Structure 1
Amino acid sequence: MSFEKSALKLASSRAGWNLDVWQYLPAAERRTKSLPIIVMAHGFGADKTMGLAYYAETFAAAGYACIVFDYRRWGASDGTPRHVLIVKEQLEDYRTVIKYARQQPEFDPQRLVLWGSSFSGAHTITLSADASVNAVAALAQCPYTGLSPPIPLDFTYLKIAGSVVFDMLKQALGLAPVYIPVVSEPRTVGALTTEGTKPGMLAICSKDVEYRNQVAASSLLQVPSYQPRAKAASITCPLLIVLPTEDNLCLPDGAVQISQATEKCELVSVPCGHFDLYHGRSHHTESITAQLAFLKKHVPPQV
């Protein structure tokens, strides 16, 4: 094998809640004393079993160490209630893993790379603009930048809004959340309902793990106020955005705005939809090729 994988638990910033982590290292014969390290997490309503291993394995085979983790409340990490999305928590979890990575003697603390896709792409953009993170580079595949498709104002919208309000009330009282599907068909109740999103999301699910297609309804309130593109002028490191030009879930205009606002951003446009960039999909090769070229240019592994 061209990489070695191990599993571990990291203490999160919430006492008693651990993050579940996969750590990938290049094969022993390719390992140097001080490896560049890539920190990776999943997107909205997903977990690390949904395609992230393919990226980590590819990067490890190319000479990079990778740490892939689940946020609190998601996947194999701790935290209750389950499947509640809180942007502040997810950014804290990135910082927790970054701090861990910088403390490991086998990793180069000055060559730490951020990686994200879809909603985690939003986090890598945000953290790349944080001088205290001091990332050497960042990659965002089909990222959420703050622009979403408009929501039809119909009866389905009213049902979703009702679920959001009911969920807020229940959680305020310490009761179990009101859940809605993460992905659903257009004009049905769900968090992500654009055309092609449900089959696209289900296509990247692991066949070995049952996907829980649910998210607390009030999590939807976290999305509109989260505007990563507003941080563009503050980005401190080279940033690659792989942009599917036909994306109807994370609208492309936001990524274009980022590329126009900073010379730090390299934009690679691919003529496809949101999920077509993932492993096993039609345009994965273009995406991973661009990512490897970007890494080689800005963070070449030592041989």
Structure 2
Amino acid sequence: MINICLCLGFSRSALLLTTTMSFEKSALKIASARPGWNLDAWQYLPAAERRTQPLPIIVMAHGFGANKTMGLAHYAEAFAAAGYACIVFDYRRWGASDGTPRHVLIVKDQLEDYRTVIKYARQQPEFDPQRLVLWGSSFSGAHTITLSADATVNAIAAMAQCPYTGLSPPLPLDTAYLKIAGSALLDIIKQGLGLTPVYIPVVSEPKSVGALTTEGTKSGMLAICSKDIEYWNEISASSLLQIPSYQPRAKAASVNCPLLIVLPTEDNLCLPEGAVQISKTTEKCQLVSIPCGHFDLYHGMSHHTESITAQLEFLEKHVPV
């Protein structure tokens, strides 16, 4: 049992409440769609005195080139303290999950991993299969938007923090761009031959070789890394070819559950215009705009409190405990 202290502002009260609550955390291995490969996951349950039966369940994963150790525990802890169960998982080939080659991003596989964990959660007797919530941030925010539009998933609600919606800054046509393009081509050839991928950094400084090189991205990404766990700042170069064709905002008209988007209006990594388009396309989208940058919403950053408060208020409205 782990005890935490949270300061939460709820819409039902003008007061800022300070509450000490507890939750239980355990480790899981969930069989993926690929035989022999397991997804590594953490399960969070509210304290026994906070548990309703069955519990609403939130399924969570991280974004581009990231893993669950990079700040997701703080969200899951807050949700569990408020009475929600959570399963936080790593995709195949990432974090503590199985899969080779390592650090290769395949959008189809990541969406399939979400579906695998959703199916697992719905099979557990302690969780309410009709009250399943999707959660994502940055690139996993793209996945929650996409899955919220999938009638077969049938989520009761979805939350996307600083999501990728299909709009990102174009890479400048410079020497670094040519090196990245060459690395991606070589990576395709090597992986096609069963050889080790060609890797580039996930995050790097502007005008250098890397997948994400906008101003402040490297420092922001490294700031959310666990100080106790080494972060492997690498991704297969051809993973970048997955991005242009992935357009979650194109699914907006099909979203069939309440969708919260917490939008940092100064985001220079996942451009805000896509989230605004989604909010104008479907009445099911609630857009909460916060004047800050992409990484400012994460735990320990300047605007985390606003983001988590918006998420808890959204849950209280649409999936009350």
TM over 0.5: yes
TM alignment of 1:34-73, pairs within 5 A? 34-73=54-93
Aligned: 1:232 with 2:289: no
Q: Give 2:294's match in structure 1, choosing from 265, 274, 277.
A: 274
Structure 2 Cα separation of the partners of residues 290 and 156 of structure 1: 39
Q: Give 1:196's match in structure 2, choosing from 216, 223, 228.
A: 216
**Could you tell me the percent identity over the aligned residues?**
85
* Match in the other structure for 1:289: 309
Q: Give 1:153's match in structure 2, choosing from 151, 159, 173.
A: 173
The residue identity in structure 1 corresponding to 2:313 is A
* Match in the other structure for 1:102: 122
Q: Look up the SS of the partner of 2:160 in the other structure.
A: strand
Structure 2 Cα separation of the partners of residues 289 and 6 of structure 1: 25
Instruction: Report how far residue 155 of structure 1 moved.
Output: 1.0
* Match in the other structure for 1:12: 32
Q: Look up the SS of the partner of 1:174 in the other structure.
A: coil
Corresponding residue pairs, total = 301
Q: Give 1:164's match in structure 2, choosing from 184, 199, 216.
A: 184
Structure 2 Cα separation of the partners of residues 155 and 195 of structure 1: 18
Instruction: Report how far residue 33 of structure 1 moved.
Output: 1.3
Instruction: Report how far residue 255 of structure 1 moved.
Output: 0.1
Q: Look up the SS of the partner of 2:98 in the other structure.
A: coil
Query: Per-residue displacement from partner, 1:10-62 (whole Å, max 9, x unpaired)?
Result: 10000000000100000011111110000000000000000000000000000
Q: Look up the SS of the partner of 2:66 in the other structure.
A: coil
**Superposition CA RMSD, Å:** 0.4
The residue identity in structure 2 corresponding to 1:204 is I
The residue identity in structure 2 corresponding to 1:27 is A
Structure 1 Cα separation of the partners of residues 205 and 60 of structure 2: 28
Unaligned runs of 5+ in 2: 4-21
The residue identity in structure 2 corresponding to 1:31 is R
Instruction: Report how far residue 262 of structure 1 moved.
Output: 0.2
Query: Per-residue displacement from partner, 1:165-208 (whole Å, max 9, x unpaired)?
Result: 00000000000000000000000000000000000000000011
Could you tell me the TM-score, scaled by structure 2's length?
Answer: 0.94
Structure 1 Cα separation of the partners of residues 57 and 176 of structure 2: 44
Runs (4 or more) in structure 1 with deviation over 3 Å come to none
Q: Look up the SS of the partner of 2:110 in the other structure.
A: helix
The residue identity in structure 2 corresponding to 1:55 is Y
Aligned: 1:89 with 2:105: no
Instruction: Report how far residue 164 of structure 1 moved.
Output: 0.3
TM alignment of 1:202-281, pairs within 5 A? 202-281=222-301
Structure 1 Cα separation of the partners of residues 134 and 30 of structure 2: 18
The residue identity in structure 2 corresponding to 1:66 is C
Structure 2 Cα separation of the partners of residues 295 and 56 of structure 1: 13
The residue identity in structure 2 corresponding to 1:296 is E
Structure 1 Cα separation of the partners of residues 315 and 286 of structure 2: 12
Instruction: Report how far residue 8 of structure 1 moved.
Output: 1.1
Q: Give 2:41's match in structure 1, choosing from 21, 30, 37.
A: 21
Instruction: Report how far residue 147 of structure 1 moved.
Output: 0.2
Structure 2 Cα separation of the partners of residues 111 and 162 of structure 1: 46
Structure 2 Cα separation of the partners of residues 222 and 103 of structure 1: 31
